[in-house]
Amino acid sequence: MRTRREFLSETFSSVCGYGVASAFSALGGRAALGEEARARLPLLPANDETTGLPLIRLPEGFRYVSYGWTSDPMSDGTPTPPAHDGMGVVDERDGIVTIIRNHEVSNDGDALPVNGGSPFDSRARGGCTSLKFDASKGQWLESRIALSGTSRNCAGGVTPWGTWLTAEETVLGVGSIDHYKKNVPRTFQQDHGWVFEVDPQGVKTPVPLKAMGRFVHEAVAIDRETGIVYETEDRGTAGFYRFVPNQKQKLAAGGTLQIAEVIGHEDLRGHVEPGKAFDVRWHTIPEPTLASTPGLEKPDELGVFKQGKNLGGTTFARLEGCWSGNGMIYFDATSGGAAKAGQIWQYDPAREKLTLLFESPGKDVLNMPDNLCVNPHGGLVLCEDGDYGDDEFPQRIHLLSQSGRLVPLAVNDMQLKGEKNNFKGDYRGREWAGATFSPDGQWLFVNIQTPGLTLAITGPWESLEEQG
């Protein structure tokens, strides 16, 4: 009999027998003929069951419940941190789902308080929160701090043994100048750029998994069969990495960091023909904790990448979302392709083959996919994070249907006038993040990063399958 953790792992890393590669291939053919991503079912304004506000648009019959808005008091008395990002379901007991949520806070300042524990860095304001949701009643139950003292927790990934890996999208540290924030000096007491493992019960003493590399991390996905961890890097010149642990399920015991070389192709940021497959080999990074190239006046944050590049590693464009399923690793290049609107890649670990599944022909079809996850009803869920501001393309969540069609599931329609926590502004151009499903497949949990809130969405999923 399978254990609960084995069940959870299979739930979140299974493609339910659906051929993702063939579906994306079909989608690419349709896009080439000019077919845009349009839902056959209209997306209608839907009122949030918590606030009563029309925050998003959904297909008829779907509903949602918001929770954990920035500044809302959590169950441990701490105000909810801002910048909700990557997220994953790590446990389920008697219908009660436990979720770990990242907070991509990059500023320095007093760390989040941890009951009975300590932060990794007393001057880093990022971290993770733990949420509980009653899937049978459709009710949010509680939230609390799970990890404190980290910085810019962007994405991460669920492990097969029921924990969450959170990744820092920064390599700033002690004495750093933040070149992204007008050269502001930071007061960090620790170096950053690590992956941390987060237990559902919380982390009392955070330990960076340094062997997994110090670079601008995004997401991770674990191959269930081998225990190898695949890692993405969110930079214009990005590498695709893997961490081979010394012991399965014991990442703190160390291991080897490697970069992918797509044989015969040193740069895959531009146009690639959908369906094209490539052979891959791997090169070991000599110094995985080297954050920047030595000797530079301004740190370049490319210490790991350049080591890999010198060994033959291939350059990708902003690698972000990453998820395992059906024995494959799926990841996206947010700004990849001729239109710089996104590419979806599939890596087959057993055959060491990389295949381009889809390249967006334009932002009206698919606008810079970021977080992604496996859809238990078939295919993938893609969260948009387009760098275009508030214009005619509001941020969307797409489902990739079983027939290879992009079906928009949700549109960010949030315009606030102070009704909730005094937030005011047009947030329609703000990114979706952290998509993850409940084990029964009935609830999709997802974040809108700014102003910062989590949504639980449910409805007649079979009606969307029919649209494909």
* Closest by Cα among 456, 429, 413 to 56: 413
Kindly list the distances between the CA atom of residue 226 and the CA atoms of 165, 237, 350, 394, in Å, as whole numbers in the listed order. Answer: 17, 28, 10, 40
CA distance 209 to 198: 11
Quote the pLDDT of residue 393.
72
Quote the pLDDT of residue 153.
98
pLDDT in tens, 404-442: 678 889 999 999 999 999 999 999 999 999 999 999 999
Mean pLDDT of 388-405: 72
pLDDT in tens, 333-387: 999 999 999 999 999 999 999 999 889 999 999 999 999 998 998 889 999 998 6
Range in 65-69, 112-116, 255-259 with the lowest mean pLDDT: 112-116
* pLDDT at residue 185 tops 70: yes
* pLDDT at residue 230 tops 90: yes
Cis peptide before 299 (omega within 30 of 0): no
DSSP 439: T
Quote the pLDDT of residue 24.
53
**How far is residue 190 CA from its own chain's centroid?**
24
In the block, tokens 């079979």 appear at: 462
Query: pLDDT band at 7, cuts 50/70/90?
Result: very low
Kindly list the distances between the CA atom of residue 346 and the CA atoms of 69, 240, 402, in Å, as whole numbers in the listed order. Answer: 34, 12, 16
- Residues of the chain with pLDDT > 70, as a percent, come to 88
* Closest by Cα among 6, 44, 18, 98 to 443: 98
Quote the pLDDT of residue 409.
95
* pLDDT at residue 16 tops 70: no
Quote the pLDDT of residue 392.
59
Single-letter residue type at 304 = V
CA distance 258 to 279: 16
CA distance 193 to 268: 25
Is the entire prediction scored with pTM above 0.85? Answer: yes
* Closest by Cα among 58, 27, 97 to 437: 97
The set of long-range contacts for 82-85, using a CB threshold of 8 Å and a minimum separation of 24, is 82/450, 82/451, 82/452, 83/126, 83/449, 83/450, 83/452, 84/433, 84/434, 84/447, 84/448, 84/449, 84/452, 84/453, 84/454, 85/153, 85/154, 85/155, 85/371, 85/433, 85/434, 85/447, 85/449
The residue among 1 and 65 whose pLDDT is bigger is 65
